[in-house]
Amino acid sequence: MYSIHREGGVSIALSIIFFGLMYFIATFFKDSILYYLFIGTGLFIFLVILQFFRVPVRQTTINPNHIIAPADGKVVAIEEVVETEYFKGPRRQVSIFMSPINVHINFNPLSGIVSYFKYHPGKYLYAWDPKSSTDNERTTVVVKHDNGTEVLFRQIAGALARRICWYVNEGDKVTQGKEFGFIKFGSRVDVFLPLDAKVLVKIGDKPVGGETVIATLN
């Protein structure tokens, strides 16, 4: 069973208007293949938009040693990098690319207090471009667990995604598996882990946001 996300109101309304327009145009071409073409196009766009804003039911098993997937999608990068915005040092990066057919809700990968938050305007490079992590429109969130461990995760807009939504601010208490944001259309989420974290996914895996354990903390 799915519901529709609150961010979908305007887009769904516009897709209904578009479908109505296609239907109106189609009435001029009855008994023609164009009749079905116009109606089919309008219906297809409406259904694509509707499925994009679906809200699935997810069951999170809360575990302080687990880092869960912050998004649905495909693991496109696992590498050691130097994180320059907050930690200013080496971290283990795991990147998940969300295609337009994925659920685009973002889930807290761990419980704790938001110790840092910043929104960055930027470019709209393709989300799989390595430079998108530092050059694109993005948000940076750092959550500090009760044990003192901090994990950084970053929402990154892609070539199609032109709006990032977030629902957290510095000082907020967040719960593992709960929604912290939404990105419209193709996009990416990067997670920056301590070097001693054990990564449990590999490139090409398709984690389920809010459920799949992508790493464990030592």
Q: Is position 133 annotated as part of the catalytic site?
A: no
What's residue 133's pLDDT?
66
* Burial of 93 (C-beta count, 10 Å sphere; 0-12/13-18/19+): buried
Active-site residue, selected from the candidate residues 15, 111, 133, 187? 187
Interatomic CA distance for residues 137 and 158, integer angstroms: 8
CA distance between the termini of the chain: 36
pLDDT at 159: 62
Query: What pLDDT does residue 118 have?
Result: 95
Distance of CA 149 to the CA centre of its chain: 23
Helix (H) or strand (E) holding 38: helix 33-52
| pLDDT for the residue numbered 124 | 62
Query: Apex CA 182: angle with CA 176 and CA 183, to 5°?
Result: 135
Order across the sheet with 173-174: list the strands.
74-83, 89-98, 187-193, 150-157, 138-144, 112-120, 173-174
38, two tokens: 């116009």
pLDDT along the chain (218 residues), means of 10: 77 91 92 92 88 83 95 94 95 92 90 96 65 77 93 84 83 95 84 96 96 94
Tokens 């071409």 found at? 29
pTM: 0.83
